[in-house]
Structure 1
């Protein structure tokens, strides 16, 4: 008589294509041999996959309905006199399984649940499966001071909540959410408050998510765990050296001597003066000082001649990058220009 593929999938002959897919999904997950681990699981699983392969194809299903399994696998004449080729299952049930689920994992139903969870809700009509509302996202702007020291932020939200025991009526109420801020928390961090959204008889409340953002600071910008600041220096300070004074985030004043020649792109890195490292507190990043060099709009002829002479001496001394000779020459010129009344006695 042949195999009854409808009986294998436990569906009536009047079933729709969606009914066939639902039946195959449940049975394929139940009898997956990797999950079931029984001796006859492989044979049952292969039969389920073959039944789905036949009934999910409209032309194969039509032949099976009229001629049964024997006619399907023997071949039958078509409506236009053409011969319909015999059907042969390819023999790889896991191929059918993967084409359906997109994976060979026997826990595909668990993955589906984790990606799109459903819950049982109690309504006035009884229990039913509810979907969770999409998450509600809010920005959380933090100052560098708050990020440096950490602490607690309190945010007020408005949400619908049940006002009766039957959970059929809701009302808008305020709620204060307490958000812990860890020192060094980075921009883009998501702080999740599960199911703090509107309460709804037919849906699970949404998660409320706060996404951190760095509020602009008047002096510093943040690059991961480092703090970056920029100073304006004159050309004289760039060549001769200077000292920069920095007011830190934690209310200290530090003075940093710059003895190198400041050139375009030069950075002074001060270790352990940046932001706290989130994963390794109380370790801190670095303070990076960048410079904008202000050039004079005018130089007297005497200054140009002096600088030209200094650069010539630098070349003679071993290369155009040796600026120490220039520094000494400019310093000597400053000493010579001191007023006679201000000179120290010999």
Structure 2
């Protein structure tokens, strides 16, 4: 069993944000170590701070409600990618200061929120309001989304002013439309200015989405190029083959491999990679890397054929594929049982 954060704050599971803040305010004041002077106060104070940090954040609360403390602290897969594990920073006084705006054990922020002073009475408003630090979100993109570009919709929840009253707020959902340019590169920051929580004391934070590439079943992205791994047999490595590529833009490209495939060999197909961000009409390259599957057993008679073939290659100074094919075919014919051979025409 993990920590019951609702139990720590003594609230119902369907409690709203105000109830969560009220519960934390009462408990944080009661168990502030500087005020209580109790041996267990620091441990309880830390549990209260951790519970508040989880339940006051919509994403953390949603993960906790569905997967519990274990899922929250292990990390889970979400609809838009992997949700990173959460770990409390371990400084409950930092949480206390962020909430009350002071380290005083006698702070009383709830009355301030219920009956805020006029705008001109706020000390921070007399000068320049401070802007909240930016809020970062990971934006997972598939190679298909990166190839074609478009618009991605993301839902966020934030505190917004109620009507024209710039002192009262309520939690609302907003849909952000995120433009995705073809060929957009990993770790690109897409900024939505001042889309964070609104409050009369601070300028809302910027919401920043940082792009990451999702894994693809066939391709790996490297700058504007696509890397593809193909496994072929030793016969195909020596005699040639054709690699069939199902491209991201739903085409089938057949790439003939006529060279000898040796360890480290790569086949580059031009203009079959990802769109180049600065000029999407142009594309990077597709690079095919090979893994050669060697046979586990070769009969002695076949080894002799190979020895003759490689000997002829050395003599001829090159790789005569047709000659090797004919020798292998002749060897197969010679090893057919006489009774199984076709009668002469």
1:337 aligns to what? 332
CA distance in 2, matches of 1:173, 1:287: 45
Aligned to 2:257: 258
Which residue is equivalent to 2:246? 247
- Structure 1, unmatched stretches of 5+, are 1-120
Inter-partner Cα distance in structure 2 for 1:137 and 1:250: 31
User: Which residue does the alignment assign to 2:147?
Assistant: 148
Between the aligned partners of 1:290 and 1:214, the Cα distance in structure 2 is 21
Deviation at 1:291, TM superposition (A): 0.6
| CA deviation profile, 1:125-155 (whole Å, cap 9, x unmatched) | 4633211111000000011001111110000
Q: How many residues are matched?
A: 220
1:192 and 2:187 equivalent? no
* C-alpha contact 1:122 1:128 (8 A) present in aligned 2: no
1:155–1:313 distance in 2 versus 1, CA, 3 Å: same
What is the DSSP-based 3-state SS (H/G/I as helix, E as strand, rest coil) of the residue aligned with 1:260?
A: coil
TM-fit CA distance, 1:165: 3.2
CA RMSD, Structure 1 to Structure 2 (Å):
2.1
Provide the rounded CA distance (Å) in 2 between the counterparts of 1:281 and 1:272.
11
Match of 2:161?
Answer: 162
- Residue segments in structure 2 that go unaligned for 5+ positions in a row: 1-117, 334-339
Residue pairs, 1:212-291, within 5 angstroms: 212-291=211-290
Length-normalised TM-score, structure 2: 0.60
Residues of 2 paired with 1:132 and 1:204: CA distance? 4
Equivalent residues of 1:123, 1:201 under 8 A apart: no
Give the whole-Å Cα distance in 2 for the aligned partners of 1:291 and 1:167.
63
* TM-score between both structures, scaled by the size of structure 1: 0.60
- Deviation, structure 1 residue 301: 0.3
| Structure 2 partner of 1:178 | 177
Note if 1:328 corresponds to 2:320. Answer: no
CA–CA separation in structure 2 for the residues paired with 1:142 and 1:315: 52
Larger radius of gyration: 1
* Contact 1:123-1:202 at 8 Å conserved across structures: no
CA distance, structure 2, for counterparts of residue 342 and residue 275 of structure 1: 58
